[in-house]
A and B are shown apart, each in its own frame.
Chain A
Amino acid sequence: MKHKPEEYASVAISEILDSVTPQESDKVEKRMALAMKIADAMKAKGWKKKDLKEAMGQRNQSVVTKWLSGTHNFTIDTLMDLEDVLDIYLLDLEKKEEPIVNLVQINVEQVVDIVHPISNIQMIIDNSRSLGSSSAHIPISYGPIAEA
């Protein structure tokens, strides 16, 4: 009889996954994404591991295998050299951070009472938790506090 495999969720895996922090998980994903970007660039150039090894002045091909494994902790110098030989960007220094913007709901009537908007941000956020129907979305940027 033909059938699909049973779905299986393992308790042992869940226990380990629960102990993985978002930072640890992010590191693994980024290392693997970096390896993919290097592999894609090699493919675009028609390069084998041997070609990258030579372009990077390495003696041992196992170094390239490690770079592509998605487990390697690269130094900045190696990443810069890889950028040069593969004509790709791995360190995007030009990219600007987005300002942190939170959308909070506030009651329009409450805005009228606010004399010093910056120093009252906390109050606005707290009040927004018990809103009625007359509310609006106002973006608030967190940044240096200006003198009132």
Chain B
Amino acid sequence: MTQFSGKKANIYAVIKEEDTTTLFDHFIIDNKVLFLSELKDIISRLQTIGKRTGAQEYFFKLKEGKPGDGVCALYDNPNSNLRLYCIRYGNDLIVVGGGGHKPKSIRALQEDAKLKAENELLKWLSQEITKRTTDGTIIFSEDGFEGELIIEDYEA
């Protein structure tokens, strides 16, 4: 993502095969009417991560996926309305997925279908990236990801 990536971190988006925009673009489009100021903050933070600070782990809520899979959420205050899921690979690289409106109660948050679907997709994607880095079809270079970046067969 050219608007976010910089000398401190490479930031990638995810696009579904049958779609023309990224998961993150859908997140913006779905929420810009009701939560514009939160979106401005999220976008400014991602830009700062890419260009100034890197993806320091304390900027994220970790352990939003399976152990060690890197699935996390950009930090959100308990009072905020939006959650954005990412996969973090150290300070240098993140994959920004989708997210959505965050219900106020923890129980509702855990059961929210939209957020659950976005989280599941990133968990699956992280698992597939790990498989491909293990067999060498995707590599991490100093410029970021290289290799076979079209990953098929996701079933929601």
Contact with A along B1-37 (1 / 0, CB 8 A): 1111000000011000000011011001100100010
Contact of A29 among B25, B52, B59 (CB under 8 A): B52
Residues of B within 8 A of A29 (CB): 44, 48, 52
B53 and A33 contacting across the interface, CB-CB below 8 Å: yes
Q: Size class of B's contact patch?
A: 35 or more
Q: Chain A interface secondary structure, helix, strand, loop or mixed?
A: helix
Q: Which residues on the B side are within 8 Å of A20 (C-beta)?
A: 40, 43-44
Stretch from A1-9, A76-84, A92-100, A123-131 at the B interface = A1-9
Q: What residues on A are CB-neighbors of B148 within 8 Å?
A: 1-3
A133 is an interface residue with CB less than 8 A from chain B = no
B146 and A36 contact, CB distance less than 8 A:
no
Given A5-B149, A25-B44, A32-B45: A70 and B3 within 8 A (CB)?
no
By the criterion of a CB under 8 Å from any partner CB, how many residues of chain A are at the interface?
A: 32
| Inter-subunit contact B59/A13 (CB<8 Å) | no
Residues from chain B with a CB closer than 8 A to the CB of A65 are 58, 75
Q: Which residues 11-53 of A have a CB within 8 angstroms of B?
A: 12-17, 19-20, 24-25, 28-29, 32-33, 35-36, 39
Task: Pick the contact of B147: A3, A14, A32, A70 (CB < 8 A).
Answer: A3
**Which of B24, B47, B145 interacts with A5 by CB under 8 Å?**
B145
Whether the Cβ atoms of B59 and A35 lie closer than 8 Å is yes
| CB closest residue in chain A, given B40 | A20
CA distance A71 to B84 in the complex (A): 15
CB distance from B57 to the nearest CB of A (A): 9
Question: Is B2 touching A17 in the complex (CB atoms < 8 A)?
Answer: no
User: A69 and B75 in contact (CB under 8 A), knowing A13-B3, A17-B3?
Assistant: yes
Cβ of B77 within 8 Å of any chain A Cβ, yes or no, is yes
List 6 A-B pairs, Cβ < 8 Å. A17-B43, A25-B44, A29-B48, A32-B52, A36-B56, A69-B58
Query: Which residues of B are interface residues toward A (Cβ below 8 A)?
Result: 1-4, 12-13, 21-22, 24-25, 28-29, 32, 36, 39-41, 43-45, 47-49, 52-53, 56, 58-59, 75, 77, 137, 143-149
